[in-house]
Structure 1
């Protein structure tokens, strides 16, 4: 089985002591492809160094995380644009809106998100969308932009069947992570109503580890655990989950 982790922050300091071992362990578990969403200007150099060290496994994306949208957002956006013109990236993100931690820069977050949409269209890249406490706001903006060729992932999706229908109806895939394994998570019911063609797997490592590792450091080698839960809910084999989700990722990111 070949798996793809469509969202992992392996370049963060949580992996400084054993990054190579983590990647080797993930590869041994069948997780061949690992997509790296950027956070802000402080994470770029480490992320790119990782992508250059493991060019067949780690694929960088470029963007400004909504929680990093502060007073200097225009300077950060200029850095994002400069990076996109300098080398190959596989997606735009992580971007979106976060109304959970801090609403101080909510208006600026919307401006930055709209700018990321323009970049995704300009560079023909998928958009990796952060939707924490902001699903309705994100949907409103995407409908307002109204660009059918736009594609991407609703990262860490755990919404209702109706919300899943709205997201997939706009051409977006749903990113399933460790949360799907949590007891009584509502996404387990939603998943029954979503076709496999709309699904990709992700860890968001080092965050949101699946059961039975909840609360510990997450890493890409746990993708098969997420796949097994998806297989159980969908009534199919883990092999079928691996095959479908990796093919969906390949079409989206065009990395292979």
Structure 2
């Protein structure tokens, strides 16, 4: 399996990070893709990339909830890193209007600028979109570059939203919410092609049932795979094979 989105550098794992990762490898995880948040998360993320080459793969980007009045300084750091290291993607980036809309305009500017950086470096983008799906879509359409591809990470939207994301050339990152009783994805996943799905945990957040409310970890992606299999009437092995290939295809596409 390929875990396409996990914050394994988080302080939540300060006491048992090695053991948590050992459980992931034992569960059959081949790679863990690490999204960045801001300048404070780069050091820990890059240390893991160096410790586990080819297994812990970093992205670089400015997370929308970390966008503040001085966001340009953060974007300069992102740009500097892109010039000196080969990341797998620009992320996680996007729009978040759930917690606070104070810096909405700055979020929009940061997103569009990072889309430009992604295109410049031939990378796809990893999108965080919370209470802002159509606002994010509007920005993608405003950017108007059909070569811009990526993943809508932690997708929890409607079937209409899923179809729109796919139409734009994006994959849907499916995680623990798929196991929630009222998560809504039981009304979406059965109508989506497995070719449009990748798996993630967003660890340490959004742990799947039966661990909901507790610290999430990468090994729990196995639970997500089983839930997707149940909803698509496939075997877990088929889901793992297909979603892993979908993820590998993201790494292999040339966007320049």
TM-score (structure 1 length as normaliser): 0.97
Q: What secondary structure does 2:100 align onto?
A: coil
- Contact conserved, 1:90 with 1:254, CA < 8 A, in 2? no
The CA deviation string for residues 203-250 of structure 1, in whole angstroms up to 9 with x for no partner, is: 110000000000111011001100000000000000010001010001
Matches within 5 A, 1:139-158: 139-158=137-156
User: 2-side partners of 1:177 and 1:253: how far apart?
Assistant: 20
Q: 1:56: how far off?
A: 2.4
Moved over 3 A (4+): none
Aligned to 1:27: 25
Higher relative contact order (CA closer than 8 Å, sequence separation 6+): 1
- Contact conserved, 1:61 with 1:93, CA < 8 A, in 2? yes
- Is the aligned partner of 1:223 residue 2:242? no
Q: What secondary structure does 2:151 align onto?
A: strand
Q: 1:184: how far off?
A: 2.7
CA RMSD of aligned residues (A): 1.0
User: 1-side partners of 2:97 and 2:179: how far apart?
Assistant: 24
Q: 1:253: how far off?
A: 2.2
Matches within 5 A, 1:75-94: 75-94=73-92
Aligned to 2:45: 47
List runs of 5+ in structure 1 lacking aligned partners.
Answer: none
User: 2-side partners of 1:142 and 1:88: how far apart?
Assistant: 24
Q: 1:31: how far off?
A: 1.1
Q: 1:119: how far off?
A: 1.1
Aligned to 1:112: 110
Q: 1:186: how far off?
A: 1.2
- Contact conserved, 1:154 with 1:173, CA < 8 A, in 2? yes
Q: 1:185: how far off?
A: 1.9
List runs of 5+ in structure 2 lacking aligned partners.
Answer: none
Aligned to 2:136: 138
TM-score (structure 2 length as normaliser): 0.97
User: 1-side partners of 2:210 and 2:72: how far apart?
Assistant: 41
- Segment drifting more, 12-21 vs 103-112: 12-21
50, 56, 59: which is aligned to 2:57?
Answer: 59
Aligned to 1:201: 199
User: 2-side partners of 1:164 and 1:197: how far apart?
Assistant: 13
